[in-house]
Structure 1
Amino acid sequence: MSNTYYRDEPVSPSLDRAPACPFDPAPEVTALRAEQPIARLAAPEGSPGVWLVTGYGLVRQILADPRFSSRYETHYYPQMGGYLPPAPAGDLTGMDAPQHTRFRKLLAGKFTVRRMNLLTERVTEITRERLDAMERQGPPADLVEVFAQPIPALMICELLGVPYEDREQFQTATRTLSDAVEPEAQYTAFIELGDYLRTLALAKRANPTDDLLSDLATAGDLTDEELGGVAAFLLGAGLDTTANMLALGTFALLRDPAQLAALRDDPGLAAGAVEELLRHLSIAAMGMRGVLEDVELGDRQLKAGDTVIIALNAANRDPAKFSDPDVLDLRRSATGHLAFGHGVHQCLGQQLARVEMRVAFPALLTRFPTLRLAVPAEEVPLRTDPSQIYGVRNLPVTWDRG
């Protein structure tokens, strides 16, 4: 067995991606996966241990082990010099059992494969409407604004039962939340959306309609604060992630003409193509877990109070799990990827995200078979803040008019 697990020198890897390889994990993180799949990170003297885990097997083990906590207050953040504050009400990502179990049970039946597949017709309609609008506008266009962001935003409106008269205002706020560069603008949009969703949730209690938020308002035992929090959680979990997968996935395909042509010419590849794009891009690149008790991980001894940072993007490129992992191959079986996490916190809305992408990617490429970048690839602005879902800020594209 390699003795590289035993190195004690703290490391400070850069999380910056190589400019020429915007779809790949940071080179220093990838190098650590080969040399030290679990490595101690440099932290101020006296701090709890902070570890970076990059190997597929180790990441999967952590995600399935209840000794590694999702509660934010167990996550030590060296830049803050302390632990994070607890999750707001309704934020499932920051909970452990039994609180997480309670919320998960309320929501799980709303996101079954069968129920999400029933939404395929509506996803298809929304996608067609966005493609029609894109065609009327004509080239060039920002694919984020006209296509990638509106599709999941409108589907969230459908799920939560946002009234039609409010949807334009709702989409404007979600665009600001996703795209604004200035933190003040993002914060304002966040407060606006949170207030709106809390008001909407209370309205659903009084006058339920046929939507998920009404189901939760009338069938569960959620307080008003929890109900509004769950609505905000569903918005955050289902909007930014899918929007960035649609935009960054299209960017990746435009940079790989052979793979683009394969999907364009054979829409039947869509289901497998989506899994491979999820694996290859891993837009939720990093996660955190708090160590609740002394535990052996790999060949390292972790102490209660330590924090583990899990590099999902590096794990999904681990050659121990996937052959030629840095190659985008839409015909690959990407079964077992960790883009949606693993274990009890695996993404609840993953089936809806799959439906949206399986419809949207082939529809876009079929409608616009000459789709291409309208600017050099190196000029496409990327979202480089490690705290954000990875993606593009905008994606200028053009095509030949029919």
Structure 2
Amino acid sequence: MALPTDRDPRCPFDPPKDLLGREPVSRMTYPDGHEGWLVTGYAAARAVLADPRFSARMELRRSPTPHAMAQEAPRPAPPGVISRLDPPEHTHYRRLLTGEFTVRRMKLLEPKIEELAERQIEEMRRQGPPADLVQAFALPIPSLVICDLLGVPYADRERFQHDTAVMFSLDASAEAIMGAVGSLAAYLGELVARKRAESADDLLSGLITGGELNDEELTNIALMLLVAGHETTANMLALGTYALLRDPDRLAELRHDPSLIKDAVEELLRYLSIVHIGPTRTALADVEVGGRLVREGEVVTISLPAANRDPGRFEHPDRLDFRRSATGHLAFGHGLHQCLGQQLARVEMRIGYTALLRAFPDLRLAVPAEEIPLRDTMLIYGVDRLPVAW
């Protein structure tokens, strides 16, 4: 079995059926022949993600997808790539970054994000319907925010958005992916050098001033934050809007009671689970998970979409329900490597959905639902385009 598996095009928001109804932990044969495990149960997923006996180190992992990079020999993560490091290296980098993404700091960003959302809405109005919501709204907002936060010129967005798309493609060749990584690293390396020469009021300049990181570390941290900081939220804004437009009752409920937006965001995160491949971990010792013995050296892949649809944790999990408490979902992961920018993503989604629904009371799909192209061959699930009218 390799991930992702085929979804039912009639139910684009549901995980593939062969991920549901399984044992919480079951055997999985990886594309390279490794006999490992697939975790689909909520409790088992949390247990693996919280257990230090499971490693995130890149040189130990095996890919659950048959994409080109899976054929490359595993190698240690470059310094600064915290998602592929264990303590103490992970702890060192995480400590330097955590203070930049606190709830308080994200609260201070809200006026700026509201201003950006209104600006994109005014541009949509100026251009008139129909519009591709991905390009007109969902992608610009998190791109503008992360550029402003890091100190990356937004004028260079086409370059980093293109390189990110190649890096996240399951169809791209190894040469294309490595070329995109190299291109983006070279660009950000030049940016780091410029900021060393002339500091500014941004996160990268602050890390440089701190003096604890060298240029390679700064470049890799910037790459990780820039890529994750726009790609994931952009897909949530677009796919979440698509889900609302396909569910008139939930859309009407949210329009009628905007105070539901906080719970709606959590429920959409659970329901959509756009990180649809992984994460993967490698056992550093024999560990029992969900009644199964995972041997030292075996790789475990966690299906976040399946875990977030576990009926043992969420009642009627296939129902989009803004009245439920979806807190505790695993859309941002769990444990040591839980998403660093989750509070920023939440703020962007709350502001983005609210502004969009307020500005366009009659927002609707501009094409039949079955014509919406899905990003099922990307590491992050979503829609390629979302034509809308009003």
> TM range, normalised to the smaller chain?
over 0.9
Q: Per-residue deviation at 1:190?
A: 4.3
Provide the TM-score with structure 2 as the length reference. 0.92
Q: Per-residue deviation at 1:13?
A: 8.1
**3-state secondary structure, aligned to 2:21:** helix
Q: Show the counterpart of 2:346.
A: 354
Q: Contact 2:132–2:385 at 8 Å: present in 1 too? A: yes
| Structure 1 unaligned spans of 5+ | 1-10
Distance in structure 2 (CA, Å) of the matches to 1:43 and 1:360:
38
Distance in structure 2 (CA, Å) of the matches to 1:199 and 1:330:
45
Alignment of 1:102-251 (within 5 A): 102-162=92-152, 166-168=153-155, 170-179=156-165, 183=172, 190-251=181-242
Q: Show the counterpart of 1:323.
A: 315
Select 1:41's aligned residue among 28, 43, 46. 28
Distance in structure 2 (CA, Å) of the matches to 1:83 and 1:298:
31
Q: Show the counterpart of 2:252.
A: 261
Distance in structure 2 (CA, Å) of the matches to 1:15 and 1:287:
15
**Deviation digits for residues 90-147 of structure 1, max 9, x if unmatched?**
2111010000000000001111100011000000010000000011010001000010
Select 2:361's aligned residue among 350, 356, 369. 369
**Deviation digits for residues 149-201 of structure 1, max 9, x if unmatched?**
00000001111112xxx422x22123323556773777655443322211111
Counterpart AA for 1:290: T
Q: Contact 1:383–1:391 at 8 Å: present in 2 too? A: yes
Q: Contact 2:375–2:384 at 8 Å: present in 1 too? A: yes
Q: Show the counterpart of 2:389.
A: 398
Structure 2 CA distance for partners of 1:44 and 1:197, relative to 1, 3 Å: closer
The root-mean-square deviation of aligned C-alpha atoms, in Å, is 2.0
Provide the TM-score with structure 1 as the length reference. 0.90
Counterpart AA for 2:364: R
Structure 2 CA distance for partners of 1:54 and 1:353, relative to 1, 3 Å: same
Q: Per-residue deviation at 1:296?
A: 1.4
Counterpart AA for 1:20: R
Structure 2 CA distance for partners of 1:51 and 1:105, relative to 1, 3 Å: same
Q: Show the counterpart of 2:327.
A: 335
Counterpart AA for 1:51: W
**Deviation digits for residues 360-383 of structure 1, max 9, x if unmatched?**
001101101111111111110001
Give the paired residue count: 380
Distance in structure 2 (CA, Å) of the matches to 1:306 and 1:48:
8
| Structure 2 unaligned spans of 5+ | none
Structure 2 CA distance for partners of 1:98 and 1:263, relative to 1, 3 Å: same
Q: Per-residue deviation at 1:208?
A: 1.4
Q: Show the counterpart of 1:8.
A: none
